[in-house]
Chain A
Amino acid sequence: RGGAGEMLAAAALVLLLAAAPGRAGAGQARGDALREELLLSPLPTGDLAATFQFRTRWDADLQQRGAVSHYRLFPKALGRLVAALGVRELHLALTQGFWRTRAWGQPPLQAPAGAELWVWFQPTVTDVDKAWKELSNILSGIFCASLNFIDSTNTVTPTASFKPLGLANGTDHHLLRYAVLPREVVCTENLTPWKKLLPCGSKAGLAVLLKAERLFYSSYHSQAVHIRPICRDASCLAVSWELRQTLTVVFDTFSSGQGKKDWSLFKMFSRTLTDACPLASESKVYVDISPKNKEKELLEVTPPPPSVHEAIVQGDKRTYAVYDLLNPSLFNTSRSLNVQLKWKRPQDSSELLTPVLHAHRYVSGYGLQTGEISTLIYNTHPYRAFPVILLETVPWYLRLYVHTLTIITKGKENKPSYIHYQPAQDRQRPHLLEMLIQLPANSITKITIQFERALLKWTEYPPDPNHGFYVGSSVLSALVPSVMAMKDVDVEQSPLFTSLFPSSDGSSYFVRMYTEPLLVNLPTPDFSMPYNVICLTCTVVAVCYGSFYNLLTRTFHVEEPSRGGLAKRLANIIRKFRGVPPL
Chain B
Amino acid sequence: VCTSRFWFNYRHVANTLSVYRSVKRLGIPDSHIVLMLADDMACNPRNPKPATVFSHKNMELNVYGDDVEVDYRSYEVTVENFLRVLTGRIPPNTPRSKRLLSDDRSNILIYMTGHGGNGFLKFQDSEEITNVELADAFEQMWQKRRYNELLFIIDTCQGASMYERFYSPNIMALASSQVGEDSLSHQPDLGIGVHLMDRYTFYVLEFLEEIHPASQTNMNDLFQVCPKSLCVSTPGHRTDLFQRDPQSVLITDFFGSVRKVEITTETVSLDRDLAGFESKLPKDELATEPLKYAEQLPVAQIIHQKPKQKDWHPPGGFILGLWALIIMVFFKTYGIKHMKHIF
A-side residues, CB < 8 A to B, are 7-8, 10-11, 13-15, 18, 29-30, 60-61, 64, 66-67, 96, 133-134, 137-138, 140-142, 144, 146, 148-149, 159-160, 163-169, 171, 183, 185-189, 192-193, 211-213, 215-217, 231, 235-239, 387, 389, 417-418, 420, 436, 462-464, 477-479, 501-502, 504, 510, 527
Contacts and interface: CB of A to CB of B under 8 A. Distances in A.
Contact of A14 (B49, B272, B308): B272
B52 A502 contact: no
A245 to B, nearest CB: 18
A146 B284 contact: no
B290 A510 contact: no
B50 A144 contact: no
Instruction: Pick the 9 closest A-B CB pairs, nearest first.
Output: A141-B95, A187-B43, A502-B293, A168-B294, A137-B93, A216-B51, A11-B277, A236-B290, A463-B124
B40 A185 contact: yes
Contacts of A146: 73-76
Contact of B297 (A64, A237, A510): A510
Given A30-B281, A64-B284, A387-B299, A163 B294 contact: yes
A154 B342 CA distance: 47
Contacts of A418: 302-303, 305
B125 interface: yes
A185 B74 contact: yes
Interface stretch (B61-69, B144-152, B224-232, B322-330): B61-69
Interface in B285-326: 285-287, 289-299, 302-303, 305, 307-308
B167 interface: no
Contact of B75 (A18, A167, A463): A463
A192 B51 contact: no
Nearest to A166: B293
A153 to B, nearest CB: 14
Nearest to A142: B95
Contacts of A169: 291
Interface residues of B, number: 58
Contact of A167 (B52, B97, B293, B299): B293
B42 interface: yes
14 contacts: A10-B271, A14-B272, A67-B282, A138-B93, A142-B95, A149-B75, A159-B305, A188-B65, A189-B69, A189-B73, A213-B66, A231-B290, A463-B5, A504-B296
Interface in B1-57: 5-6, 40, 42-43, 49-52
A237 B287 contact: yes
B44 to A, nearest CB: 8
B124 A436 contact: no
Nearest to B291: A167
Contact of A141 (B49, B97, B290): B97
A70 to B, nearest CB: 8
Contacts of B285: 61, 64
A237 B95 CA distance: 37
Contacts of A166: 293
Nearest to B308: A159
B64 A188 contact: yes
